[in-house]
Amino acid sequence: MDWASLIEWTVKSLALILALLTGFAYLTLFERKVLARFQVRIGPNRAGPFGLLQPVADGIKLIFKEELIPANADKIIFILAPIITVVPALVIMAVVPFGPPIQLFGRTITLQVADLNVGILYIMAIASISVYGIVLAGWSSNNKYATLGGIRSSAQMISYELALGLAFTGPILLTSSLRLTDIVEAQRNIWFVLYQPVGAFIFWISTLAEVNRAPFDMPEAEQELTAGYHTEYSGMKFALFFMAEYVKMIAVSAIAVTLFFGGYRGPFVDQLPILGPIYFLLKVVGFLFLMVWVRATLPRIRYDRLMAFGWKVLFSLALGNAMLTALGILLADTFQNPLWLWSIPVMTIAFFLLVVYLTRGSIAGGNR
Amino acid sequence: MPEINTHIDESMLDGFTRLVTQEAIEGKTMLLNMGPQHPSTHGVLRLLLELDGEFVVNVIPDIGFLHTGVEKHMEYKTFEKAVVMTDRLDYLNNIGNNLVYCLAVEKLVDLDVPPRAQAIRVILTELQRIASHLVWLGTHALDLAAMSVFLYCFREREMILDIMEMCSGQRMMTSYFRPGGLWRDVPVEFEDAVRQFLRIFPARIDEYEALLTKNPLFIERTKHIGVLSAEDAMRWGVTGPSLRASGVAHDLRKVRPYSGYEQYEFDIPTHTDGDTYARYLVRMEEMRQSVRIVQQALDKLPYGPTRSNNRKFVPPPRSELGHSMEAVIHHFKLFTEGFPAPKGAVYVAVESPRGELGVYLEGDGGPKPYRIHWRTPSFANLQVLKLLAKGHLVADLVALIGTIDIVLGDVDR
């Protein structure tokens, strides 16, 4: 290990964290602007041209706000909870490739902090950690609303983690590798979303729940629990929760793009590697726009029905999807013809319709 | 750790134990204080919730945070001056409050209202009903986190408030109806503005419905939530859209028409399910029916005076004040002393957007009301919240507060 590699890693890590923090700041502005357009409003336009300095103003405000710690709160955990939430959100992006390797200063530099051979396992492991922060925040605040938010969050997590994990299996089976660069390179000719339409759908819904976005934003349901788990937080501690949510939004969008939408791949990337990050960014922004769109349109689902949906519909769908994908690959192997891979979307969509038909009435109910 | 005073006053606890179940005292269920500062209690309603997990065991509404003493205050005002206080009761139905109070005074002193004033009263009351339902729809949807609907509703409500401002100079606290008619005739732009609204609005209702009516998530959140049977509704004195959604076609505009409602053709939307979704459908249809009424009233809006010519109760017009000493004296007397009302009591009720809005007015021969009592729909409707919420989740409770459409100014008076 030479000093040049150390410098390379440091620079890449810093650049990634900086990009995520700036991305978070401008994602809040992006969300507010897009929401405003959906709602026939103008959105923030006072701070700087087109409101571009709004995130700066928000940041300054939050830094200078007084931080309250409620009496009888568990102080150590109360302070630790935002950190537990925000750190996984930041490090999860380390394994995601932003572009093809480029030549710089006579070195081949991969546009990725760490090219782990178990990248997907790493993502799954890290993604679930931040829920601890939310549960602990709810519990340590000594506030009933916050506790309810924390409990909802853990219930939600349990219901979705399984479907999310199973949705990962599709791309893994298709590439037979856990390394994210392999998965991206396997999508050189065709995006996995075409082989895995149901898998991508499950993945996307589960990630909405994973990052507590509408319509699954129950842990912080403003109208029900005032602010849920972060009711008692103020100043920078609150900002950290906020940051975690938005950074995670970016992260899961990036992961979805990598797994199902070809990552940084696009026309002319081989000739001009710098196009890679641009394609990647555009695809991520598309996903983020989708998330904001959903928030502008849909009402919040009730928390018991969310669990029913997670277990009865999404989990069975994900399980069937994984099995049918394996079957399709087996067929393709047996007949030595990759065209058999197209049986996967056919079978999974048929299975999807079947499950939707069978479970159509089963989510309702649940009142005492 | 700072010393916290955990001592609870014994007398306080006594009052408490009578309200909640034994389980709550023992700590088996959780007590949660919701409000008066809570984003979705629609004002300053406080609810003491007894929860088992997230299931609601009991709801104890605590009202009075917005008590203004309007009824008592009105006893110190002459009949005409008391009109401005009525605006402040149900602040989403100001015109309707003006109307019922003016009808009561008119009934007490036997005062006529010219046909043009009647028609304009109907137009404005129905527009106000639409505006009130828009606020209900917006906040109800917002409580379920469908946030865009809220802003779309307020866009259309703005048009109605502009019309109100055009007529009276005020967007909300209009005080536009006076005993004997209107403050003054509507301006010439009024008809165009209302027609413009009528042209736009039906399509906008379709727009809200496109977002909600068939949205599976919205149906999940409202269907079979808070089912109110017709018997329970009548037993608890529920009126308005909530009663009609339970299958009782009771609408004072049809049952006991006032202000010439009998001339207009409109339907009373009803539904038999009695759940939150049914109440939603009924109110949406009511907005369409209100559009119909406004359309008809505007088409046959007669010309003529907008205030009674009975000089005993109505001040002389401004044009006479310049050249008639008697008119000046008369004007002065009416605004300082007021007009005397005969001894007796009347009760007048109208259909407000929330239900039966009634005024009991008692005169003692003097120029001020001896006693005035408001029978407000929100107060009666709020009582069923306890009945509706039992066994539902906290998330549904928010939907239920929205669906009974309370206005705290109307509850507390």
In this prediction the ipTM stands at 0.80
Across the interface, of A71, A297, A368, the residue whose CB is closest to B4 is A71
In 3D, which of B352, B59, B353, B63 has the Cα closest to residue B226? B59
Inspect the interface and report whether the beta carbons of B395 and A144 lie closer than 8 Å: no
Two tokens at A244?
């975690």
The mean pLDDT value of chain A amounts to 83
B174 pLDDT tier (thresholds 50, 70, 90): confident
Query: Is A2 part of a structural domain of the chain?
Result: no
Q: Which parts of chain A fold into alpha helices (H)?
A: 3-38, 54-64, 75-91, 119-127, 130-140, 144-175, 180-186, 192-195, 197-210, 222-225, 235-260, 275-297, 303-308, 315-335, 343-358
**Residue A119 domain boundaries:** 7-363
Mutate: best of A216, A302, A312, A362, partner B, most B CBs <10 A? A302
Inspect the interface and report whether the beta carbons of A214 and B145 lie closer than 8 Å: yes
Query: From the CA of A35, how many Å to the nearest CA of chain B?
Result: 8
CA A39 to chain centre: 25
Taking a C-beta distance cutoff of 8 angstroms, is the pair A124, A171 a contact? no
Stretch A244-272: mean pLDDT: 84
Sign of the torsion formed by the C-alpha atoms of B398, B399, B401 and B405: positive
Contact partners, residue B396, CB within 8 Å, separation at least 6 = A302, A367, B56, B221, B225, B226, B389
pLDDT of residue A345: 82
Alpha-carbon span B392 to B413, nearest angstrom: 29
Residues of A in contact with B218 (CB under 8 A): 299
Across the interface, of B147, B155, B220, the residue whose CB is closest to A302 is B220
More confident residue, A48 or B134: B134
Q: Is the pTM of this model over 0.90?
A: no
Paired strand residues for B359: B348, B374
Between helix B115-143 and helix B394-403 the angle, nearest 10°, is 170
* 3 state SS of B357: strand
pLDDT of residue B134: 92
Two tokens at B80?
């005409």
Alpha-carbon span B252 to B214, nearest angstrom: 31
Inspect the interface and report whether the beta carbons of B394 and A224 lie closer than 8 Å: yes
Paired strand residues for B49: B32, B59
Look up residue A94 and give its DSSP letter.
G
Most confident range (mean pLDDT) of A224-228, B14-18, B26-30, B160-164 is B160-164
Between helix A3-38 and helix A235-260 the angle, nearest 10°, is 100
Query: Is A368 part of a structural domain of the chain?
Result: no
Measured between CB atoms, does A218 come within 8 Å of chain B? yes
pLDDT of residue B10: 58
Query: Is A63 part of a structural domain of the chain?
Result: yes
pLDDT of residue B1: 42
Stretch B342-348: mean pLDDT: 89
B142 pLDDT tier (thresholds 50, 70, 90): confident
Stretch B160-168: mean pLDDT: 91
Two tokens at B36?
């008066």
pLDDT of residue B347: 92
Stretch A327-338: mean pLDDT: 84
| Dihedrals phi, psi of B359, to nearest 5 degrees | -125, 125
Paired strand residues for B178: B181
Query: Is A357 part of a structural domain of the chain?
Result: yes
pLDDT of residue B12: 59
CA A241 to chain centre: 15
More confident residue, A223 or B403: B403
Query: Is A231 part of a structural domain of the chain?
Result: yes
Query: Is A352 part of a structural domain of the chain?
Result: yes
Paired strand residues for B30: B51
Closest alpha carbon within chain A to B224:
A365
Query: Is A1 part of a structural domain of the chain?
Result: no
Percent of all residues in chain B with a pLDDT value above 90, rounded to a whole number: 16
- Chain B residue set in contact with A, beta carbons under 8 Å: 1-2, 4, 30, 32, 38-40, 54-55, 141-148, 151-152, 155, 211-212, 215, 217-218, 220-221, 223-225, 391-398
Q: Mind listing the pLDDT tens digit for each residue in A2-18?
A: 887 788 888 888 888 88
Between helix A197-210 and helix A144-175 the angle, nearest 10°, is 150
Domain tally for chain A? 1
Element (H, E) at B34: strand B30-34
Element (H, E) at B369: strand B369-375
Query: From the CA of A73, how many Å to the nearest CA of chain B?
Result: 9
Stretch A342-359: mean pLDDT: 81
Largest Cα–Cα separation, chain B: 80
Terminal CA-CA length for chain B? 44
Q: Mind listing the pLDDT tens digit for each residue in B212-241?
A: 888 888 888 888 888 888 888 888 889 889
Contact partners, residue B210, CB within 8 Å, separation at least 6 = none
Residue type, A297: T
Stretch A282-299: mean pLDDT: 88
Residues of A in contact with B215 (CB under 8 A): 298-299
Alpha-carbon span A188 to A263, nearest angstrom: 10
Stretch B362-384: mean pLDDT: 88
CA B413 vs CA B70, B345, B408: distances in Å: 6, 21, 8
pLDDT of residue B16: 65
Which has the minimum average pLDDT: A308-312, B35-39, B59-63, B380-384?
A: B35-39
Paired strand residues for A104: A107
Element (H, E) at B361: strand B355-363
Two tokens at A80?
């630790």
Q: How many of the other CB atoms lie within 10 Å of CB of A298?
A: 22
Q: Mind listing the pLDDT tens digit for each residue in B277-330?
A: 899 999 999 999 999 999 999 998 888 888 888 888 888 888 888 888 988 988
The answer for B248, left when phi > 0, alpha when psi is -120 to 50, beta otherwise, is: beta
pLDDT of residue A1: 62
Q: Mind listing the pLDDT tens digit for each residue in B178-216?
A: 888 888 888 989 989 999 999 999 999 998 888 888 888
B123 pLDDT tier (thresholds 50, 70, 90): very high
Taking a C-beta distance cutoff of 8 angstroms, is the pair B101, B359 a contact? yes
Q: DSSP assignment of B48-91, as one string?
A: EEEEETTEEEEEEEE--TT---HHHHHTTS-TTTTHHHHTTTST
pLDDT beyond 50 at A366 = no
Residues of B in contact with A222 (CB under 8 A): 39, 145
Query: Is A222 part of a structural domain of the chain?
Result: yes
Residues 101-160 of A with CB under 8 A from B: 144-145, 148, 152
The mean pLDDT value of chain B amounts to 86
* 3 state SS of A276: helix
Alpha-carbon span B155 to B157, nearest angstrom: 6
Stretch B115-123: mean pLDDT: 91
Taking a C-beta distance cutoff of 8 angstroms, is the pair B145, B138 a contact? no
Residue with tokens 């401005």: B84
Taking a C-beta distance cutoff of 8 angstroms, is the pair A184, A263 a contact? yes
3-state SS string for B322-354: CCCHHHHHHHHHHHHCCCCCCCEEEEEEEEECC
Taking a C-beta distance cutoff of 8 angstroms, is the pair B307, B114 a contact? yes
Inspect the interface and report whether the beta carbons of A223 and B398 lie closer than 8 Å: yes
Closest alpha carbon within chain A to B38:
A226
Most confident range (mean pLDDT) of A92-106, A204-218, B78-92 is B78-92
CA B77 to chain centre: 23
Residue type, B197: F
